[in-house]
Structure 1
């Protein structure tokens, strides 16, 4: 069933809005915490070493080596995906004229408030 003219216009408007704001979502600050490429590389190396140890442990039937290889792999994954505190991150300063929001608001109310604040920043 084809879309009506009004539905098509609304869909086009939503697509334009999404394309315009997509870069904002990707570059949104995350409290100064970012993934470190160095940690990703070190984590990948640890995963590969752990995988090698796991394969050697299983093939030679050395359970201790296999378990150690698995632990090294797990540590490499944790190292790779753990965000680090960025030095260049600038803390966001909340405007002083806003009153603190009550914490008992619903999830949707908080999402709507965040959306409104983001639109006000433009």
Structure 2
């Protein structure tokens, strides 16, 4: 379900406030952000399927010691498929400014974040209580 214009503006305002007030958090999160590629997912799923096949073969041939490596291969395949991608940003993509030297506005102290949250709470209350509008 798409966001309304008011919700989009609210989200953009919250993002700007986050970038200005908590630059360390933004830097940590954007470094780890990324999606796994289709190749990574495919290799992981294939590894998991090979592990399952080894476990099934171990059951068929009644070789429990063969089942353990099969389980390990299956687990490794699943973990490989689910691991977060570590892509580098594209050349045209700009990283969000975090209130550093190149910012247009100076970063506000973190104590002023309370007024932002108060406004958000007021907006939430107005949205949930139609009689207050």
- Give the TM-score, by structure 1 length: 0.55
Structure 1 runs not aligned, ≥5 long: 1-13, 25-29, 113-122
Distance (whole Å) between structure 2 residues aligned to residue 49 and residue 15 of structure 1: 40
* Structure with the bigger percentage of helix: 2
1:33 aligns with 2:37: no
Aligned pairs, number: 85
The answer to whether the Cα contact below 8 Å between 1:58 and 1:66 also exists between their aligned partners in 2 is: yes
Distance (whole Å) between structure 1 residues aligned to residue 40 and residue 56 of structure 2: 24
> What SS is found at the alignment partner of 1:33?
coil
Alignment-derived partner of residue 91 in structure 1: 95
- After superposition, give the CA deviation of every residue in 1:18-44 in whole Å (9 maximum; x if it has no partner): 9x85xx9xxxxx624221211101001
1:101 aligns with 2:102: no
Alignment-derived partner of residue 26 in structure 2: none
Shift in alpha-carbon separation, 1:85–1:64, aligned structure 2, 3 A: same
Alignment-derived partner of residue 115 in structure 1: none
1:74 aligns with 2:78: no
Alignment-derived partner of residue 66 in structure 2: 65
Structure 2 runs not aligned, ≥5 long: 12-28, 101-105, 121-133
- Give the TM-score, by structure 2 length: 0.51
Alignment-derived partner of residue 43 in structure 1: 44
